Amino acid sequence: MRKHKIAALMLSITSLMGYAQVNPENAAVTNAPTGISLNGNTETREIFKRKGNLYASWGYNRAFYSKSDIHFTGDGYDFTITNLTARDQPGNHDFLTYIKPNMFTIPQFNWRLGYFLTDKTYITFGSDHMKYNMDKQATLLTGTITGAVNPGTYNNTEVLVGEGAESGVYQPALVDSMQTGFVTEFEHCDGLNDFAFELGHLEQLWIAKSGKHAFSAQGAIGAGMMIPDSDTDVLGHEPRHDMEAGKKAYHLAGYSLTASVGLQFDFFRHFFLLGKLKAGYINMPDILTTVEGGRASQHFNFLEPMILIGYSHSICRH
């Protein structure tokens, strides 16, 4: 008897579901991709369509770096300086810098091209052009130097490095009484360039009734190639980079691993604004330093906030 009652109840529920599917008053509910029921009324919210879209974006960044050790090798020297701090170089640019065709790449910038595999999943490739400038600071040096400048064997010797720490220049601060002339400049000036692929996912938070505007959260992971242009002054050797002579030192120096989160506002269907925070690890074991074949290596973590504007358009209709 109990089994018969359960079977009768299931048959009744099935009949009601069949009625709901054919009842014209409920047709909007069954066909809607998503719905929110309020007091018996269903408000439809479609997902913002992105599948098959190709997009491009451009923006600007700041960058913050962890401390790192730098190892230098070359003709007559092999030494390491430790626990170094560095900063980015955003510059004090006026508005015209960001809109003039011959100037808008002077600040720290980002560009990306991407494609949406689904409405929520995308792949992208682009470059983060950051800048890295080692601070003037006291550090510990360990290694050997057999050349003409500062020869000797060093074991955790406290020295002064960084821009302005040239040998023989008198400066009254206490730190400037330390031995100098080892590394008087070290920067990835024309850029700390990360060319990277990313795989990302969006989750829609809101969409306008018109379907033309939307707000989403996104996250991505990436891996890239580090191609810096490094300006260095090591023991007075001629650097590979020379701005006045137009010489660059671009070189595949290492790799990056990154993860990012962001908030994206799409407007008028094709345009979007994106605020993003990226964190990552950079390892560069082969940095070009001097024309004589000098090298440097370092690895560090970084944090990079950025803001971008972009355009998206369908190239594959579904």
d(CA 88, CA 75): 30
Residues 71 and 35 both lie in one domain: no
Residues 179 and 259 both lie in one domain: yes
Q: Three-state SS for 149?
A: coil
Residues 32 and 128 both lie in one domain: no
CA-nearest of 102, 68, 74 to 87 is: 68
pLDDT at residue 92, rounded to an integer: 80
* Gyration radius of the chain over CA positions: 29
Which residues does residue 38 pair with via DSSP β-bridges, in sequence order? 41
Residues 32 and 90 both lie in one domain: no
Residues 22 and 106 both lie in one domain: no
Q: Three-state SS for 152?
A: strand
d(CA 28, CA 38): 14
pLDDT at residue 93, rounded to an integer: 83
Q: Which of 109-123, 131-145, 173-187, 280-294 has the lowest mean pLDDT?
A: 173-187
Residues 173 and 289 both lie in one domain: yes
Number of domains in the chain: 2
pLDDT of 76 > 60? The answer is yes
d(CA 280, CA 298): 14
Residues 39 and 154 both lie in one domain: no
CA-nearest of 207, 202, 311, 302 to 261 is: 202
Q: Record the tokens describing residue 299, joined without a space.
A: 């690895």
Residues 29 and 141 both lie in one domain: no
pLDDT at residue 317, rounded to an integer: 62
pLDDT at residue 35, rounded to an integer: 45
Residues 124 and 179 both lie in one domain: yes
What range defines the domain where residue 7 resides?
Answer: 2-43
Question: Average of pLDDT values for 85-97?
Answer: 87
Which residues, in sequence order, are CB contacts of 197 under 8 Å at separation 6+? 123, 124, 125, 222, 223, 224
> Is the Cβ–Cβ distance between 286 and 250 less than 8 Å?
no
Residues 141 and 13 both lie in one domain: no
**How many residues does this entry show for the chain?**
318
Which residues does residue 183 pair with via DSSP β-bridges, in sequence order? 234
| Mean pLDDT (the chain, rounded) | 85
What is the pLDDT confidence band of residue 312, given thresholds at 50, 70 and 90? very high
Question: What's the pLDDT tens digit per position in 206-248?
Answer: 999 999 999 999 999 999 999 999 999 999 999 999 877 778 8
User: What are the CA-CA distances from residue 122 to residues 56, 207, 216 (Å)?
Assistant: 12, 19, 14
Of residues 272 and 241, more confidence is placed in: 272
DSSP output for 66-84: --EEEEEEETTEEEEEEEE
Question: What's the pLDDT tens digit per position in 117-164?
Answer: 999 999 999 999 999 999 999 999 999 999 889 999 999 999 999 986
Residues 21 and 119 both lie in one domain: no
Q: Record the tokens describing residue 253, joined without a space.
A: 């120096």
pLDDT at residue 75, rounded to an integer: 93
User: What are the CA-CA distances from residue 103 to residues 43, 61, 97, 124, 242 (Å)?
Assistant: 49, 16, 5, 25, 20
Please name the helix (run of DSSP H) or strand (run of DSSP E) that holds residue 124, with its range, or none.
strand 121-134
> Is the Cβ–Cβ distance between 290 and 232 less than 8 Å?
yes
pLDDT of 175 > 80? The answer is no
Residues 183 and 78 both lie in one domain: yes
